[in-house]
């Protein structure tokens, strides 16, 4: 069991981040705190309304997916991930455990760019983009999935932070820095206004 956990902790894990991540923030786990901030932000914007739907691109071990499920906002969460990472068997096991608490989550085991045609234009309330973070991949995800978000809905993603300059530059250029809200896990969020 320890072997399994050791292998997995080399990946990006919100629930059990490596010590080095925690040390940066005085020991508190901002990978969780930041997503809670984002969820509180949505709660204010939506004035507590539920029955929303969302797409997550990149679910990994299902930890952010768990948080969306636990938020109670969504009656439909589509989680897209090809699960082709290192130690996929172990990551998938954790993913299945994490999503098992909720009957609102549908898993699409594929690459985002192969399944975009499954979703209607302006049909979702919230998009969270956390797949590949290269300029090319993130641009592609936003080009393909931004149209799926309703006007008045929210587009968000992870890793708006210095180690990911492509994410910061692209999000700034695309949406304008003044329109972006950033949370302490380095999630970013904008409202789709047109």
Q: How far apart are CA 169 and CA 161, in angstroms?
A: 10
Q: Give, for 31, the enclosing helix (H) or strand (E).
A: helix 30-45
Q: How far apart are CA 1 and CA 35, in angstroms?
A: 28
Cβ-based nearer residue to ligand SAM, 91 or 190: 91
Q: How far apart are CA 82 and CA 76, in angstroms?
A: 19
Q: Does 148 engage in binding with ligand SAM (CB under 6 A)?
A: no
Distance of alpha carbon 84 from its chain centroid, rounded?
17
Considering only residues 88 through 147, tell me which ones interact with ligand SAM, judged by CB under 6 A: 111-113, 130-132
CA dihedral 143, 98, 93, 15 (to 10 degrees): 90
Considering only residues 17 through 56, tell me which ones interact with ligand SAM, judged by CB under 6 A: none
Q: Does 57 engage in binding with ligand SAM (CB under 6 A)?
A: yes
Q: Does 187 engage in binding with ligand SAM (CB under 6 A)?
A: no
C-beta nearest to ligand SAM: residue:
58
Q: How far apart are CA 114 and CA 89, in angstroms?
A: 22
Of 53, 64, 71, 107, the one binding ligand SAM (CB under 6 A) is 64
Shortest reach from residue 194's CB to ligand SAM, in Å: 26
Give the binding site for ligand SAM (CB under 6 A): 12, 14, 57-60, 63-64, 80-82, 85, 111-113, 130-132, 158
């Amino acid at each position: 069991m320890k072997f399994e956990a050791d292998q997995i902790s080399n990946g990006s894990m919100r629930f059990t981040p490596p010590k080095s991540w925690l040390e940066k923030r005085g020991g508190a786990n901002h990978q969780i705190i930041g997503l809670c901030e984002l969820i509180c932000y949505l709660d204010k914007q939506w004035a507590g309304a539920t029955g929303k739907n969302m797409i997550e691109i990149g679910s990994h071990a299902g930890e952010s997916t768990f948080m969306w499920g636990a938020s109670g906002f969504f009656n439909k969460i589509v989680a897209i991930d090809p699960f082709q990472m290192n130690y996929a068997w172990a990551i998938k096991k954790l993913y299945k455990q994490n999503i098992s608490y909720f009957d609102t989550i549908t898993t699409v085991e594929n690459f985002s760019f192969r399944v975009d045609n499954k979703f209607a234009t302006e049909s979702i309330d919230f998009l969270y983009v956390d797949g590949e973070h290269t300029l090319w991949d993130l641009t592609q995800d936003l080009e393909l999935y931004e149209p799926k978000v309703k006007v008045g809905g929210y587009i968000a993603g992870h890793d708006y932070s210095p180690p990911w300059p492509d994410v910061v530059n692209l999000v700034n250029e695309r949406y304008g820095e003044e329109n972006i809200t950033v949370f302490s896990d380095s999630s970013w969020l904008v409202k789709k206004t047109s």
